[in-house]
Structure 1
Amino acid sequence: MHALRKWLLSGLLVIVPLVITLGVLNWIIGTLDQTLWLLPEQWQVWLTEHRVRGLGVLLTLAILLVVGAVASNFVGKRLLGWGDAVVRRIPVVRSIYSSVKQVSDTLFSENGNAFRTAVLIEWPREGVWTIAFVTGTPGADVRAHLGGGEYLGVYVPTTPNPTGGYFVMLKRSDCIELQMSVDDALKYIVSMGVVVPGGPATLAKSQ
């Protein structure tokens, strides 16, 4: 029975990540295949009849590359600036667009500072520690009410779903900057501490 239980757990460790990965990939491919409506109707009919999957991924990548290439040159920047100005004049749309664009610029811009540093903080009370990510610094209006000292904007993710969490402002002296990368820190959080950055050797050394 002990051997059967061991084999069952080993099988689950192999199969579960594989099934979840394939399921996520299938969902992504199915979602991106919806972009095929951009193709001529005859092509859509032929692709549907022959059940060609995955072409939406290539089409989406091609669209992103073309848009990125156009946006990178002088003419494209002028056109994007003009379109941005037009959208920002529409009463309801401008508030939504401005918020989304500010977040996307922060997350995807090469000059952005979002999630660039992993820090160790005491949360949710003194003596309890967790890993968080520096997102920036508070604005002048907020700093005026925080008193003395330098503060950082910090995102504290939840486990095992890091997309939910808390945004807090802490003194820089209360944030211990870690040497681990953001990717390693996210793996550590998602795995609930099971996947230790540096591998088993690091864990054995610490013990």
Structure 2
Amino acid sequence: MRRYLLTGLLIWVPLVITLWVLNLVVGTLDGQFSKLPLDWQPNTLLYKLLSHIVPVSWLPASPADFHAPGLGVIITLLVLILTGVTVSNMLGRQLLRLWEHMLNSIPVVKSIYSSVKQVSDTLFSSNGQAFRKALLVQYPREGSWTIAFQTGTPSGEVAELLPGQMVGVYVPTTPNPTSGFFLMMPVEDVRELEMSVDEALKYVISMGVVPPKDMVERSGQR
């Protein structure tokens, strides 16, 4: 299930971000963000199908009145898992290559999709090294320590200009780890932690209030 879910993310994340960027740009230029209203009359096929499943009194008068908490999360998970199952076989992979070839043929879409896909493949792929290790680094000055995550090693022109062996790290902000700083630090200045990435994230988000399990176990044994 986890493998299918990650595969579904690898397929949908680049596409969704690409569509979001295009919609943002086009919508800003046109000044049109409204969506076309759905046909929600009692004589439509969708209304008749739903009326056989649930009582008519439960059906909303219009699509704008429809509200089901948690339904979007369930549908999203189902779409991701079904996508992962689909592209895990020979036919699905061929359809995926055809789909990516079509997207890469569109000038503007090609630039956005290829860039986002490269990043998402690095982050979510099980073979990648991004966010696989929790680190302890000195930041923002010597003597101050914080939690960071390994993102890889510098390469290409950047690696040629850097002195010695370096490692790329991401230092998250607290309590919102989605923003942070990308640093390239000498390997000898980085200390690898035994705690998992999930435990390190909890430690960062809680501002040190929620310690990892091994710290709790050691303190309980004393």
Q: What is the TM-score of this pair, normalised by structure 2?
A: 0.66
Q: Which position in structure 2 is the counterpart of 1:89? A: 105
Q: Which position in structure 2 is the counterpart of 1:13? A: none
Q: Which position in structure 1 is the counterpart of 2:26? A: none
**Structure 1: 5+ residue stretches without partners:** 1-36
Moved more, 84-93 or 159-168: 84-93
Q: Which position in structure 2 is the counterpart of 1:174? A: 189
Structure 1 residue corresponding to 2:46, chosen from 20, 23, 41: 41
Structure 2 residue corresponding to 1:163, chosen from 173, 178, 181: 178
Structure with the largest fraction of helix: 1
Q: Which position in structure 2 is the counterpart of 1:70? A: 86
- What amino acid maps onto 1:195 in structure 2? V
C-alpha deviation, 1:53, in angstroms? 5.0
C-alpha deviation, 1:186, in angstroms? 0.5
Q: What percentage of aligned pairs have identical amino acids?
A: 51
Query: Do structure 1's residue 108 and structure 2's residue 108 form an aligned pair?
Result: no
**Structure 2: 5+ residue stretches without partners:** 1-37, 39-44, 61-66
Q: What is the TM-score of this pair, normalised by structure 1?
A: 0.71
- What amino acid maps onto 2:141 in structure 1? R
- Residues 196, 202 of structure 1: 8 Å contact kept: no
Structure 2 residue corresponding to 1:124, chosen from 140, 144, 151: 140
- What amino acid maps onto 1:84 in structure 2? E
> C-alpha root-mean-square deviation of aligned residues, in Å?
2.6
Residues matched between the structures, number:
167
C-alpha deviation, 1:89, in angstroms? 2.4
Determine the C-alpha separation between the residues in 2 that align with 1:44 and 1:99: 41
Q: Which position in structure 1 is the counterpart of 2:205? A: 190
Determine the C-alpha separation between the residues in 2 that align with 1:202 and 1:191: 20
How big is each residue's C-alpha offset from its partner over 1:108-149, in whole Å with a ceiling of 9 and x where there is no partner?
Answer: 2121222110011110111111110001111222101102x2
Matched position secondary structure for 1:89 = coil
How big is each residue's C-alpha offset from its partner over 1:78-131, in whole Å with a ceiling of 9 and x where there is no partner?
Answer: 121121122122221112111221222122212122211001111011111111
- Residues 153, 168 of structure 1: 8 Å contact kept: yes
Determine the C-alpha separation between the residues in 2 that align with 1:125 and 1:44: 61
Residues 98 and 203 of structure 1, relative CA distance in 2, 3 Å threshold: farther
Determine the C-alpha separation between the residues in 2 that align with 1:151 and 1:61: 38
Residues 188 and 53 of structure 1, relative CA distance in 2, 3 Å threshold: closer
